[in-house]
Amino acid sequence: MLNISHNKLNQKVSLNRFKSAQKVFHERHYKHFNRFLLAFALVGFITLFLPWTQNITGKGFLTTLKPDQRPQTIQSPIPGRIEKWFVNEGDYVNKGDTILFISEVKNEYFDPQLVERTGKQIKAKEASVISYEGKVQALNNQIGALSNERGLKLEQAKNKLLQSKLKVQSDSIDLEAAKTNISIAERQYNRVLQLQSEGLKAVTDVEEKRLKLQETQAKLISQQNKLLASRNEIINAEVEINRVRAEYTDKISKAQSDMYTAQSSQFDSEAQVTKLENEFTNYSMRNDMYYIRAPQNGFINRALQGGIGETFKEGDKLVGIMPADIDMAVETFVEPIDLPLIHLGEEVRIQFDGWPAIVFSGWPNVSYGTYGGKVVAIETFISDNGKYRILLAPDANDHDWPKALRVGSGATTIALLEDVPIWFELWRQLNGFPPNYYQPEGAQDKPVKK
């Protein structure tokens, strides 16, 4: 009811005569309530000064410390068809154990004796290489013989040229002698002719001298012919030298051409041998790839390709395997704003899914059911979920992690930071400030390079 009157009813009418009013309007209950409020305020005020451990929480999952210990799939580097399985899902296999056998699906590899026939081709080509080597050696010998023969022929032709030059000199001397003789014969003839005209010589003497003069002239002409013939022999000798050179140059060039052709065929055969050896090795390795083997000790998780006669492409996943010997680790994620607060070697508390735990994030000493871990790797590039990946390894100074943990199960992580009063943490949370930035002693910003 609205209080619209200036007359105060409670001031004119006393309610103390009623039992309900006596129970409600007595002042004794204020005394206990005030004491409770005072004690609560005092406890709350003292609590504000209690230490509180700042922390960074994150969600992650179990993984392995080393990349080669994580679950993997086995692929086939070649396409094929499944012929036989040697394992079942859940079986334990050792490194090198055969998991399944496959066969070829490409027609160029259908021949079951492909490797043996390729080996025979290699032997045939190697014999061809040896034959070409012999031909090259024979041609080299032939070139050597032709070179020696050319040298002898040239020496012979040069000797003949020298003889012709000497003969020219001899004929030149004989020609000069013939010229001298004809001069003497002419003077004798003229003298006898003069004496005959004076009556001192007979006509027979004149005719004798004329005959001798004619004979001397004939000898001169003959000697000139001999000189010309000798000079012609010089020209013939020089022509013979050029002919010998041209002839043997042609023969040697032809032999060298045949040798180079044989060498080219030899090199081509050697290249084919190398190519066939490469194919032989590839075929041998391909035959070995028909048996899909375990890369390491582990358990067969799941057959990703099933049945008999099913075909697949190269690189397709055939079967999944979980390594047997692993070092457990936790992969967790933190916000980018919290990344500068994480350091290598820093301690982290971990709560595994399926293991009961009572967690007080600000008071790790009173938490129950958490396990210790240490930061061993900090990702330097943001993940797809917008956070940075942190890898945690078991803390050797803490109790061991449960043996029944399996890779892939969930985990909650609490990275312990600096100790601050509770009032400071409340003030930070209300203002949305990040935890205090600090550099703990012994922590590393970057991994140590070994």
Q: Where are the domains of the chain?
A: 50-70+326-450, 72-98+293-323, 114-288
* Cα(370)–Cα(395) distance, integer angstroms: 12
CATH architecture of 50-70+326-450: Beta Barrel (2.40)
- The distance from CA 4 to its chain's CA centroid, rounded to whole angstroms, is 97
Q: pLDDT higher for 370 or 359?
A: 370
Which of the pair, 24 or 342, is modelled with greater confidence? Answer: 342
How far is the first Cα of the chain from the last one, in angstroms, to the nearest whole number?
85
What is the homologous superfamily of the domain 114-288 according to CATH?
Helix Hairpins (1.10.287.620)
- Provide CATH code, domain 72-98+293-323: 2.40.50.100
Model pLDDT for residues 253-283, shown as the tens digit of each residue? 999 899 999 999 989 999 999 999 999 999 8
CA 94: distance to chain centroid?
30
Measured CA to CA, the distance from residue 76 to residue 289 in angstroms comes to 8
Rounded average pLDDT over 188-209:
76
Per-residue pLDDT tens over the stretch 292-319: 999 999 999 888 888 888 899 988 999 9
Q: Binning pLDDT at 50, 70 and 90, where does residue 102 land?
A: very high
Higher local confidence (pLDDT), 359 or 388 = 388
Q: Which residue has the tokens 């990275």?
A: 415
Of 8-12, 17-21, 418-422, give the lowest mean pLDDT range.
8-12
Query: Residue 423: what are its φ and ψ, rounded to 5°?
Result: -60, -35
In degrees, to the nearest 5, what angle opens at C-alpha 50 toward C-alphas 427 and 371? 95
Q: What CA–CA distance (Å, rounded) separates 237 from 161?
A: 5
The pLDDT of residue 448: 43
Query: Which residue from 59, 57, 63, 90 is spatially nearest to 405, judged by alpha carbons?
Result: 63
For range 10-17, the mean pLDDT = 66
Question: Can you state the percent helix, strand and coil of the chain, rounding each to 5?
Answer: 50, 20, 30
Does 365 score more than 70 pLDDT? no
Instruction: Tell whether the model's pLDDT for residue 28 goes beyond 60.
Output: no
pLDDT in tens, 29-45: 566 777 788 888 888 88
Fold matches, 50-70+326-450 and 72-98+293-323: no
Q: What gap in Å lies between CA 86 and CA 98, rounded to an integer?
A: 7
120-157 pLDDT, tens digit per residue, is 999 998 999 999 999 999 999 999 998 998 888 888 88
CA 51 to chain CA centroid, nearest Å:
57
Distance CA 139, CA 259 (A): 6
Strand pairing partners for 62? 330
Rounded-to-integer distance, Cα 444 and Cα 55, Å: 19
Question: From start to end of 154-297, where are the E strands?
Answer: 291-293
Read off the tokens for 347: 């301690």
DSSP element (H, E) containing 406: none
CA dihedral 278, 281, 285, 286 (to 10 degrees): 60
Burial 292-304 (b: 16+ CB within 10 A, else e): bbbeeebbbeebe
pLDDT value at position 407? 86
